[in-house]
Amino acid sequence: MISVADLLTNNRIPSNYFATDAYVRGDLELGLLENRQGDRLLAIPETLIQGIYAGLEKETGQASRLVLFNCGRWWGKNFYVRFCEQLTDYYSVSPADMPMVEFLQSLQQCWITHGWGKIELDQTYQHRGFLVIKTWNSPFAKLAPQGKQPSCFLEAGILSTFFSQLTGRELHCVQTTCESLEADCNRFVIGLTKRLEPAETLVTNLEHEAIMQQISG
C-alpha cells in the first residue's frame, strides 16, 4: 500500500515500470530506440532470426540446440541483472522484497514490451519441485524450423538462468510443448538438472502432463 508520506515525498504513484508507452522511447531522426534508462534497444526483423536458425543448423547441425541454449543462458544472466536493477531503482525496493504479485506483473509486462509474447507462471507442480512457465506468441517458436520436438532453446536458456539467479540454485529448463508443433502454448519446466534429465528424452513421445507425471511421480 502506498502511504501519504510517499506521495508527498515522491510526488508520483508508481505504475508498471515496463509499461510500453513509458518504457520504449525513440528518436526517429537519429534512428534510435531506447528504454527509459537510455539503454539502446534493437528491433530485430523476423528474417534475421530465421537466418540465425538456418545458419546454425547448416554450420553446427544438432549442436545448434546447445549453442542456442547457451546463448540464452548468457543473455538470461544479463537480462536478470538489468531487470533487477531497473526494478530496484524505480520502486526503491529489491525484487526479493517485492510482493510476488508486483514482481510477476513486472515480469509479464517486461516480456510483452520486449516483443517476446506473453508469459505466465504455473505453480501446479511447485510442491513437487518444478515450476512450469507458459508463453504465447513467441517469436522464437513462430520462426523456428519445423521439427519433431520443441525448438525454443534460446528461450529455455534465458529462463533457466533467470530463475537460477532468482532462487540462488542452479536450475535447468526443458521445453515440453511448442507453438511450432501446433501446441496451444509453449511450456517450459524449471527444476534441478538431475531431476529434469529424464524429460529430455520424453518430449518427442509424451504429452506435457504425462511427462510431468513421469518426472514428479
Over range 105-128, report the average pLDDT: 94
Over range 17-30, report the average pLDDT: 88
pLDDT value of position 26: 86
Question: Would you place residue 15 in the very low, low, confident or very high pLDDT band (cuts 50, 70, 90)?
Answer: confident
Over range 52-81, report the average pLDDT: 93
- Terminal Cα distance for the chain, rounded: 41
Question: Would you place residue 118 in the very low, low, confident or very high pLDDT band (cuts 50, 70, 90)?
Answer: very high
Overall pTM > 0.85: yes
Over range 176-203, report the average pLDDT: 94
Instruction: Give 148-176 pLDDT, tens digit per residue.
Output: 889 899 999 999 999 999 999 999 999 99
Q: What percent of the chain has pLDDT over 90?
A: 65
C-alpha 70/C-alpha 73 separation (Å) is 5
pLDDT value of position 149: 86
| Among 35-44, 73-82, 196-205, the range of highest mean pLDDT | 73-82
pLDDT value of position 73: 96
Whether 32 contacts 121, CB under 8 Å: no
